[in-house]
Structure 1
Amino acid sequence: MNTDRSPGRGPGPGAEALLIRAAMEETAESAPSLPDLVPVALVQGRRRRNRARAVGAGVTGVVALGVFGALLPMWGSGGDAQTARTGSAASQTATPSPAATGRPAPTPVHIEPTAGETSMADLPPAERARQEEFQQQVAVLLDELLPARLGTVRPVDLAVDRYQGGSDGNTFPVIFSVRPQADPGDAGADPPCQDTPSKGFRCRTVMLPDGIKVRSFSAVGNQKGSQAITGVGLSFTYGRSSVRLSVDGDDSSMVSAPVTVDQLLHAARDPRTLKLVKYADGHPMEDKEHSVRGG
């Protein structure tokens, strides 16, 4: 896996930009644009510019999702990709480029899909551009709201819900998912939110603005001998979607997620986060959930 796209795959950057711009102009009037949060993040995030943090040279992609891959299988991007791949004209919405704000867009992490796996490269050009713009805005916002020790938050080009932080050679998988809820009867209710100390699982329910009830939790993931890594996450319902936000530890180096539950809740409470959730709920980019919710 590389952090840069392999050469010789499709047109050069200039030609690709022209193709995407043309596709976006054809669909620009089909639905409202994404909320442009980058200028706000630029002003409020300047203090982070001087922080000594960078993704280590050894960071080449997102590691397995550890605890959350086990506890919440629906957090991944698996399943039938047809819904998100085709979409309606209303869902293929052109959005302003971060370049117009004077702030460079975060460089995506490239992960080569495995055999039989799809990626964002398989999307129609206009839909791919829309999802990439959404990822960039999410990454910029999370980079501002989450602690600096997480490292630079970058989108992952494998799926719209995938991101990663990285610092000191460690890679921390991040999930920001707004997935349409399953049809009635296709998914069960969440289990009670209660601690399970024997399994290293702690859960509590808190309220976000507008009366949104959130289940937040921390859980022990991978264990090697006396070492164990911990990840944090939260979930809530917004409109017709199930929202998930999590940060996991680095399985390879056995380093826990450098984010606390309270810090994750701080990010979720921010009005700009809910604004992005609202957009994704109204203009879905992920497949409808089809497994039992939990966590």
Structure 2
Amino acid sequence: MDITDRSPGRGPAPEAEDLLIRAAMEQAAEGVPPLPDLVPVALVQGRRRRTRARAAVGAGVASAVALGVFGVALPMWGPGGGSQEARTGSAASRTTTATPSPTTARPALKPVHVEPTDGETPMADLPAAERARQEEFQQQVAVLLGELFHEQLGAVRPVDLAVNRYQGGSDGNTFPLIFSVRPKGDPGDIGADPACVDNPLKGFRCRTAMLPGGIKVRAVTAEGNGNGSQTITGVDLKFTYGTSTVRLSVAGDDSSMVSAPVTVEQLAAAAGDPRFMALVKYADAHPMEDKEHSVRGG
């Protein structure tokens, strides 16, 4: 039957309507170029997007690694001046502080408690902020001295009486240490050191040496009589840095009468360590001790 044949009052049959629509669409599309194949284009764009995404992720990971590496490699400390302290974690997580921080997280060294004698002012009497600064400095010093003299002194701990006092221990003995960076007194207040000459009768030996940077040091080995006729030996190193007099010394154990297990050569080697000089530089710029003064009558 002809699909254009219509009965009165009725539209075309559904099958005929579909054919009419399809024929109209084919006629309208005649002469029009075929649509491009979108599949290859989509594949190429997909590959490019994946490449860009991977590159972005790789850059992010590289940045994170770089931050971590440089966070560890930053100079360790220098509160208020000099090298800035390094902190645990990356550079992005660092905050500014006025006190040095350890390079890695470690338990604080427990200070040795010493009761003050008449005329001594313990660190406990300092203002809170200054006490915290000095205690943090002591922690830095004690850790470094413990590393430099580990074989001779074992662990080194700060002493809570004064910022320049420390204590080492080895084989049941205790050895007092002093690390002092004291501002020089006014002209005329302090006399010059005596000539560096040996005095065998008093068990006194003096040597001079040169640290890196042309710093001249005076190194003394001295015997003391603290228990009858028995003597023990201590060592002392002294030099000038900036506007301060620097002293590093190790004394013997006068209770067991055991001499200091450190030589002046070892003291000089420790003083030449860049980490030691960084501590000296900070303490010279930010004093924690009173000025030198002469002692009348002695």
Interval containing the TM-score (normalised by the shorter chain): 0.5 to 0.7
CA-to-partner distance for each residue in 1:205-253, whole Å, 9 max, x for gaps?
Answer: 1100111000001000124345210000110000000000000001111
2:172 to 157, 169, 173: 169
Secondary structure (helix, strand or coil) at the match of 2:152 reads: helix
1: distance between equivalents of 2:100 and 2:203? 43
Match of 1:193 in 2: 196
1:132 to 124, 132, 135: 135
Structure 2: runs of 5 or more not aligned: 1-78, 89-96
1: distance between equivalents of 2:123 and 2:140? 16
CA contact (8 A) 1:35 1:276 kept: no
2:81 to 32, 35, 45: 32
2:147 to 141, 144, 153: 144
Instruction: State the structure with more CA Rg.
Output: 2
CA-based RMSD: 2.1
Q: Give 1:96 shift.
A: 4.0
Q: 1:168 to 1:37 in 2, by over 3 A?
A: farther
2: distance between equivalents of 1:226 and 1:254? 11
1: distance between equivalents of 2:277 and 2:152? 24
2:98 to 72, 80, 94: 94
Match of 1:12 in 2: none
Q: 1:33 to 1:265 in 2, by over 3 A?
A: closer
1:107 to 107, 110, 132: 110
Q: 1:224 to 1:175 in 2, by over 3 A?
A: same
Secondary structure (helix, strand or coil) at the match of 1:126 reads: helix
TM (normalized to structure 1)? 0.66
The number of residue pairs the alignment matches comes to: 209
Asked if residue 280 in structure 1 is aligned to residue 283 in structure 2, the reply is: yes
Q: 1:179 to 1:37 in 2, by over 3 A?
A: farther
CA-to-partner distance for each residue in 1:66-125, whole Å, 9 max, x for gaps?
Answer: xxxxxxxxxxxxxxxxxxxxxxxxxxx721443x72222221111122355310001111
Q: Give 1:144 shift.
A: 0.7
TM (normalized to structure 2)? 0.66
Q: Give 1:138 shift.
A: 0.6
**Of the two structures, which has the highest relative contact order with CA contacts closer than 8 Å and spacing of 6 or more?**
1
Q: Give 1:33 shift.
A: 7.3
Secondary structure (helix, strand or coil) at the match of 1:143 reads: helix
